[in-house]
Amino acid sequence: MKQIRKRVTYANVMSSIAVFLVLGGGAAYAAKKIGGNEIKANSISTGKIKKEAVTTSKIKNGAVTGSKVQLSSLGKVPSASNADHATSAGNADTVGGSHLGFIHVTFSGGTPQVDAAHSSAGVSVSLSNPLVASTTCVSAPFPLHSAVGSVDFIADPAESEIVEATVVTDTGHRCPIGTIEVNTSNAKENKGVTLAYYLFFS
């Protein structure tokens, strides 16, 4: 009787181990075989992503563009009175040898003006020629190559936007060559409007 019990116990143990290996191996096999093509489009929601799972090294270079950056996430815009922004253009911030600048443009009676407390030294803004109220021309004390910006926050920011912030490189524009032509618009009204805005450029 004792010998039979030992055999039964041994058999039970071995069968349990076999089941465990099969199930465990099956799960491991499945995990190895699930690739990007097996995941249904739009099936992974924001709530399903583990906190801090997306790190800097996981983001492709150049994947995050200016239009994807929320202005408020940049923190307080440095003041022109800071030591880093002295009055001379030679002290402008640089990255990879390229100058960097920013400007906060406001309007008073339809006339654009620079908010010096929140703008780089030496920048300026003027009305377009021919005159279009929603078009302004931004100048900097260094050669310009690119620009990105955002309108000031208003009650319904989705309706108002910068529709163009282009460095002018040839004739046929409302702004002079070498400046940034900025056009602001209200989508709801489907027309150009004067809107205060921030602009970052290099």
pLDDT band with cut points at 50, 70 and 90 for residue 40? confident
Q: Is 176 exposed, middle or buried (0-12, 13-18, 19+ CB in 10 A)?
A: middle
Residue 88 has what pLDDT?
41
- 188: which 2 tokens? 């709801």
Picking from 73, 78, 103, the residue whose alpha carbon sits closest to that of residue 196 is 103
Q: Mean pLDDT in the chain?
A: 74
The H or E element containing residue 19 is helix 2-33
Q: Angle 154-158-160 (CA atoms, 0-180°, nearest 5)? A: 65
* pLDDT per position as a tens digit, 78-88: 444 443 433 34
* pLDDT per position as a tens digit, 175-198: 999 999 999 998 888 889 998 999
Higher pLDDT, 35 or 27: 35
- 78: which 2 tokens? 């440095």
* pLDDT, mean of residues 129-145: 95
- 190: which 2 tokens? 């489907």
